[in-house]
Amino acid sequence: MSFQAAFAQALFDPDAATDPAVRQLIGQPAFAVYRNTMMKGCLDALEANFPAVARLVGREWFRAAAALHAAASPPRDGRLLHYGEGFADFLRRFEPAADLPYLPDVARLDALWREVHAAPDAAPLDAARLSRLAPERLASLSLQPHPAARWAWFAEQPIYSIWSRNRGTTHEAADEELAWHGEGALLTRPADAVTWHSIDRAGCAFLDACASGLPLGEAAEQALMLDADCDLATLLQTLLRAGAFINTDLLIESTP
């Protein structure tokens, strides 16, 4: 191991350092200052990257948990926007979070927000272009999800409601009682800002099918298998308004 790698490792676990030169540095007061600064940067990054989790548990609890995570999983990328890829799994194993079973999935949505925020730009699909296609052409068309679209279905808990109430600067519908059932979430960035929307299980299945390359007719079948009453026209309209799909050359042609 190089000196630089050994030094970086010692910043997060000084007791495990074996390099003689690094061991000498650990005993110096300046090392503690540097280590504290490095750790604070990690905690600040995690707090910024997981704001809904931090709001739910409070800053003191969050930073105590984040310090343990940072010590076990230091950053691997200098772009700290991406730091915390394993934080949701850490919370799932973290004993003090056992009474908060929704917390790991809230962290998962915070992580998806970061992915959407950092995803490539692309023009969202214009609904007017679809309206020019004949029904049979529409059914055979494969729509490509937007590169800045993410979705997830949470079968057991109202994760989307918990997350969305704690994500912004104010608590959304904080006085309303939560209905404890499964929910889905769709996060998109059709323009400059990340937006989020509630989505049901059929909608998630529809998007999964589109992402796998299935044509709209088969994607619709996947949705109807989960919810026979699914209003496919309304679902597609909702997804188009959210910017869930990308413009493709397949839609250039129109029918008479």
Q: What is the DSSP letter of 215?
A: -
Say what the pLDDT of residue 235 is. 96
Say what the pLDDT of residue 8 is. 53
- Alpha-carbon distance of 108 to 116, in angstroms, equals 12
Say what the pLDDT of residue 31 is. 56
Q: What is the DSSP letter of 157?
A: S
Which residues of the chain are modeled with pLDDT < 70?
Answer: 1-36, 169-175, 249-256
Say what the pLDDT of residue 75 is. 84
The pTM of this model reads 0.85
Q: Are 241 and 140 in contact (CB under 8 A)?
A: no
- The residues that bridge with 187 in the sheet, in sequence order, are 150, 196
Question: In the chain, what are the domain boundaries?
Answer: 1-100, 122-256
Q: Considering only CA atoms, which of 87, 17, 72 is closest in space to residue 39?
A: 72
Say what the pLDDT of residue 135 is. 83
Instruction: Note the Cα 128 to chain centre separation in Å.
Output: 30
How many angstroms separate the Cα of 114 from the Cα of each of 150, 181, 186?
A: 10, 25, 13
Q: Considering only CA atoms, which of 69, 37, 38 is closest in space to residue 53?
A: 69
Say what the pLDDT of residue 255 is. 38
Return the H-helix or E-strand segment holding 171: none
Question: In b/e form, how buried is each residue of 207-222, taking b as 16+ CB within 10 angstroms?
Answer: bbbbeeebebeebbeb
